[in-house]
Every structure is written in C-alpha cells, then in structure tokens.
Amino acid sequence: MGRSCFSGKRSSYDDWAASVIRRNEDASLATFHTRFPEAEYETYKKVLDCNYIAYPVGDLTIRGIYVRPKYRGGDDLPVLIVNRGGNGPSGAWNLSRMFQRVLPIANAGYIVIGSQYRGSRKGDDPSVYGSDEFGGEDINDVLALFTLSGRLPGADASRIGTYGWSRGGFMAPMVATKTDRIKAMAIGGTPTDLAAELEIRPEMERVFRARIPNYDEDKHAALEARSAVRWADEIDGDLPILILHGEHDDRVSLKSAQELAEVLEALQHPHKLVTYEAGSHGLLERNSEVIDELVTWFARYLAEEENRH
C-alpha cells in the first residue's frame, strides 16, 4: 500500500542521515545520531510497515501515512488517527517526524494512520489536491480516515483513538464533535482559544488570513469554531481527553491547556492534564516521557473489553 517510508534516500541509515544534514545547515551527525539512534531505525525498519498513501475525499486526492506492525498475528489491532501540526507543506509527516511520534506508538501495537491534509505540498494542483483550510474542509480529510480504518487488514475499527499536536490538537476536538467513534483522545501543545493566542502571537494572523476561509468577513466566528474552550460541551461527555503541554512553550501558552482542563473539570468530563517543566512546544526533548504517557493512555481505553481495568 503506497510508497514505503524506508525507500529512496531513507532506505539506509547513512543515506537518511546524509540527506537530513544536507537540508539542514545547523544539523550535525552527532545530533542526528542522538535524535535518531541507528538501532531504533533498524528495529522500526524490520518490524513496521510504514507507507505514504493517497485516498479520496470528495473529488480530491489527499495524501497520508499508514503504519502497522509487521508481525502481529491473531487479534485485530486498535487504530490511532494522528493529526499533524503545521500548515500547508510545513509540518507534513516525514520520516523524521514519524520516527519521534508515530513509529514508537505503532511499535507498541497500534495501526496508525494520519492525513497530510489538503494542500500539503507546495505547487500541487488545488483542483486535485485541494488548498489548506486550517480547520475548515480539512476536517473531512480526517473524518475520511474513520471509513478507511474499516478497510485496513488487521484493524479493529471499533477501537479508535486520536491524538494531535499544535494545529492537529485543535483539529482533534473538532473532529470529535462530528463522530462518536473515538474512544480516547490526546492533544499536545494545543491552542484551545485562538483569539487569546492571537494576542500573544499576532504574527499568526497572517497564517489565519491566508488559510481560513472567509476569515476577514467573520474573524470572530472563524476563531471560535477552532477554539475547544468555546464548545467543549459538544464533545461526547464520555470521551477521555489527555492534555500535554510544555511549561516553556513559546508558541502556544500554557494557559491554553490549563483553561481547557478547567472547562472539562466544570463539565465533569474525564481528562488528565500533564505539564512538563521547562518543556518546549514540541516536547521533543521529553519525547520518551511523552510516548510513555500516550501509550499508557491509549492502552487504558483501547484495550479489548476483557483486558480493561
């Protein structure tokens, strides 16, 4: 299915390292080895099927990712739908990003699928691949993955979780208001009140104006539609939500996570807030802790019925 993540310049560890360093002037081989250990690369390449895929949404072709363990026989596996951050081509899933936030979770026993969203590659024909809408019609690109999950071999489409980071984090609750098929959710580094965040980072208005349809015509409505603190009561009240946030996040305020937790507490909505001292926006410096938290959270809610505690 699709093109392997371990093909071309990523088919060997040394070739992958060289290609990353060529594209990033500040990168060094030592840093690469620390962030992407060779032993983990070889393990993931051996035990995981990792592919770039394409799937239809209406008249558009949407790109995505699909990762599954190779050697898990017997029972069907739970599915995790992952929502990436960034906008347009920026932040799209590549092997480096998947290595940190997708492959370790798939290796824990999950089928992982995710959308690159419409308009994810610069220069693509918008009549075929669409244009990024930053929480608009791209919600449908994620919703289509629920249908796709039912056609994946070895997938238990009755056990679906979702998580997202940053932009992907505010999209996850939006998706949750449109389906009742999600059994557990996790979000990280997530703006939960875009109007408040805009006061802190006014430069984001350029992104909003370029990507949110009809932004200038009704800015208030556009921001509110993407702000979970405004409509958290529309999310299934039984859906457990894990909120992760770095205390030194310089892109999205810690207050964003705290306010969502307060709203959920008032609604008596099951949730857990985890903050990381000195943690950054992506929390990559605490990645092993983040992965442990995610795997523990989803294992608790996506385990087969007889294995739940």
d(C-alpha 288, C-alpha 243), whole Å:
16
- State if pTM tops 0.85: yes
Residue whose structure tokens are 């208001």: 177
Question: Contact at 8 Å (CB) between 175 and 93?
Answer: no
| CA 53 from centre of chain | 16
User: Residue 90 gets which letter from DSSP?
Assistant: B
pLDDT of residue 46: 97
pLDDT of residue 170: 95
| Residues contacting 285, CB < 8 A, separation 6+ | 279
pLDDT of residue 305: 62
pLDDT of residue 226: 96
| Measured CA distances, 124 to 56, 67, 91, 132 (Å) | 15, 25, 16, 11
pLDDT of residue 282: 96
pLDDT of residue 307: 56
d(C-alpha 134, C-alpha 151), whole Å:
27
CA angle centred on 96, ends 25 and 172, rounded to 5°: 125
pLDDT of residue 1: 63
State both tokens at 127: 């009549």
* Nearest in space to 48 (alpha carbons), one of 2, 103, 96: 103
Which H helix or E strand runs over 15?
A: helix 13-23
What are the extents of the domains in the chain? 50-307
pLDDT of residue 74: 63
Top-level class of domain 50-307: alpha beta
Q: What is the pLDDT along the chain (309 residues), one digit of tens a residue?
A: 689 999 999 999 999 999 999 888 777 889 899 999 999 999 999 999 999 999 999 999 999 999 999 987 667 999 999 999 999 999 999 999 999 999 999 999 999 999 999 999 888 999 999 999 999 999 999 999 999 999 999 999 999 999 999 999 999 999 999 999 999 999 999 999 999 999 999 999 999 999 999 999 999 999 999 999 999 999 999 999 999 999 999 999 999 999 999 999 999 999 999 999 999 999 999 999 999 999 999 999 998 765 555
Q: Bridge-partner residues for 164, per DSSP?
A: 83, 187
